[in-house]
Every structure is written in structure tokens, then in C-alpha cells.
Amino acid sequence: MKIAIFGGSIAGLAAAGRLEQQGHDVSLWEKNSTPSGGGFGILLPSSALGAFDALALGDAVRQAGHPIERCDLRAGEEGSFHQQALTDTHAISRSSLIGILRSSLEKTTFHGDATFVDFDFDGTGRARHGLLSDGRKVEADLFIGADGVRSTVRERVLPGLPLSEVRVVEMVGSIDGAKIPPFLTNTFSKTLFHHQGLAIGLLPVSDDCLVWFIQADPLRNPEIFSQGRALQNWVGSVARRCPSPVRELCLEIDPLGSRLCRSTDRELPSQFHRENVLLLGDAAHPLLPFTSQGTGSAIEDARDLSRLLERLPNNLEHNLQQLARQRLPILRERLRVGRRLQRQFLAPGGSERHGPVPLAS
């Protein structure tokens, strides 16, 4: 089958690699010259690694990633401490992950600087071509929109169900050449200030690179939107409030050069396709960052799609309906947990205590 994928980040690359291995004629169209997407570091729980295993990429991801064996949760105000063991969990930089996914593609599959803008449909509502902003037309039997949260493909085929910005703001950055102190070895650390709608996380993604993030309720922490010296002063004041030994490391954080990300939320649709256009990854189902499941879910989408196409290669409509039947219950649960954790984080008195799910960025 001829398959054209729009969006060349995690979902698009994973689907392209797998479908190509199955013998499909795949082309991948990405608006940037190289793949992009949010976040510096990604925490991959065992469920996500299992999905990489199914794509025969699990070993490469574990090798390039950094094993995370513990999650340390500290309550900033009360000084309490809770440690949770994590099994088969790895942290990896987004660029390493993208590199692994991209290396599994044929050289001619990836087309950078190619922005999808629209489809041209035939009289029955099937897409004939995907149209790019530079006038090129891409022909295929199946089109896949893997173009992220603000998906243009989705706007064209499954409009409705608006995307809403949620209140939590995340600032993410990294310290390259960091000396990872013993307390953080193979550890994801998070310090929560329950009454201030504030959390600071530290995640080693390699032996000398540390990804940090600050999650904030901007109504109580408007300083997160400040810039330059004012922003540095605010981050410094947050760091000084952290208990030792987190404090000493957080004092090294320089927010200049960091990224500010706003999470989004959207109800799940009942199908992820219309005719011969399918959505995968964040385009189909943005998940809140509180559960660290966005990447794993995108990889699972690619895995399940390829399995279905392998089993019943000639019944596309049935396969795409079946994909939604398989994926929706799992995604519904992840969305539910993410929303609960977010509500707790935003609660005025703060109530996110030592929950079972780590919060990552």
C-alpha cells in the first residue's frame, strides 16, 4: 500500500519505520528540516519500552537512554520524603530518541521542509492527494496525520472537539556537562510545593546531562512568565526553598534558554480516522504531561496499526475501526489519570501527595 505520513516526530517516524519494514511504500513529510516536538528529556515507563520492543527498537532505546530506578518525591514545605522503585524505566533525550527512530528509515523516506496544508478529496470523500504549502501534491492510498497537538490534518478531517489550554505551565531546560550527584544517580527527583501550585523536577538523561523542569500554576506563580534577570531571580528563589540536597543542584539552573510549554486537553473522538485518513499520536489524542505517557502512546499507536495491517491487509476500513476500539479504552484511562493529577496539582490547598504515578517532563 502507498502510505503518506504528515509529521515526522515520534508517532510519524515510528509508524513510517514499521510500515516500511512490512513492505509498504511509505513517504514521510515534516514541516521542519529536522523533526521537532516539545520537551528536552522523556521518561519512558516500562509500558512505553514494551512498545519499543514490539518495534524491535527497545534495545537501542535502553542503550541510548539512562536507567531510572527510583522516583524521589519531596514535599517542599513539610520536608517529607517518599521513594518509589521503578522497574524497566529509562530517561532519554528527545534528540537521541528521534535519532533512533529516524535511523530505522530508508534514506529516501523522510522529506523535510514539507508542510501539509490540505487534502484534495474525490466525490466519495476519500483523500486523493495531500497538498503541501509549496504546491507539491502527495498521492497515497492511506494518509496518516502525525502532526502533533495542533494537527492541521485533524482540522481537515475530524474538526470539532476543541483543544483547550490547561492552566499548568511548564518551563523545561537542561544542564549539559552536569556532574550528576549521588542522590540523583538513576533517580527521577521531584519536589512539590503543595500550597503554591509549584513543582520542580530533575531527570538525568545521560551520565552528564540533566533535564530540569518547573511546573507552575501561573495564577499563583505569574513570575514564570517574566524574563531575563527577573526570571532568574524567581527560579533562584524557588531553588532556595527546596530541601537539601535538591537545593544545591537547583541553584545551578539557568532559565535563560529554557522553553515554556502549555499543556492542552481535548476529549477523545470516537474514531481516529475518516475514510482513508488516520490520526496517530498527539494529533489523535493529546495526553496531559502528568503521566509521562505521550511518547509511549504514540509508539503503541504505530505498533497496533502495523499489526492490524499485517493481519488483514485488504480491509482498511475494518482495521482503522479496530484500531480505535483497541486504543480508546487505554487512552481514556490515561487521560482520566492525567486530569486527576492535574486537578490535584491545581487544588488551592494542594493535594498532590505521593501518588503512584511519577510526574515528568
Ligand X SMILES: Cc1cc2nc3c(=O)[nH]c(=O)nc-3n(C[C@H](O)[C@H](O)[C@H](O)COP(=O)(O)OP(=O)(O)OC[C@H]3O[C@@H](n4cnc5c(N)ncnc54)[C@H](O)[C@@H]3O)c2cc1C
Binding site for ligand X (CB under 6 A): 6-12, 29-32, 35-39, 42-43, 115-116, 146-148, 152, 170, 172, 261, 281-283, 289, 292-296, 298, 360-361
**Would you mind telling me the total number of residues written for the chain in this entry?**
361
Half-sphere exposure of 104 (CA within 13 A, CB side): 25
Longest dimension (CA), the chain: 66
The residue type found at 188 is F
Q: Which is nearer to ligand X, 77 or 346 (CB)?
A: 346
DSSP state at residue 184? G
Q: Which is nearer to ligand X, 101 or 242 (CB)?
A: 101
Pairing of strands 70-75, 187-193: parallel
Q: How far is CA 105 from the centre of its chain?
A: 21
Least gap, CB of 116 to ligand X (angstroms): 4
Q: Which is nearer to ligand X, 279 or 320 (CB)?
A: 279
The phi and psi torsions of 282 (rounded to 5 degrees) equal: -60, -25
In whole angstroms, give the CA distance from residue 148 to residue 353.
31
Q: Which is nearer to ligand X, 31 or 274 (CB)?
A: 31
Least gap, CB of 341 to ligand X (angstroms): 14
Least gap, CB of 25 to ligand X (angstroms): 19
64: cell is 541510548
Least gap, CB of 328 to ligand X (angstroms): 17
Least gap, CB of 262 to ligand X (angstroms): 9
Contact 212, 172 (CB under 8 A): yes
Q: Which is nearer to ligand X, 31 or 66 (CB)?
A: 31
Q: Which is nearer to ligand X, 218 or 243 (CB)?
A: 218
CB contact set of 6 (below 8 Å; sequence gap of 6+) = 12, 29, 30, 116, 130, 143, 144, 145, 146, 147, 152, 153
Least gap, CB of 35 to ligand X (angstroms): 5
DSSP state at residue 289? G
Q: Which is nearer to ligand X, 215 or 319 (CB)?
A: 215
Of 192, 217, 191, 213, the C-alpha closest to 203 is 213
Least gap, CB of 11 to ligand X (angstroms): 3
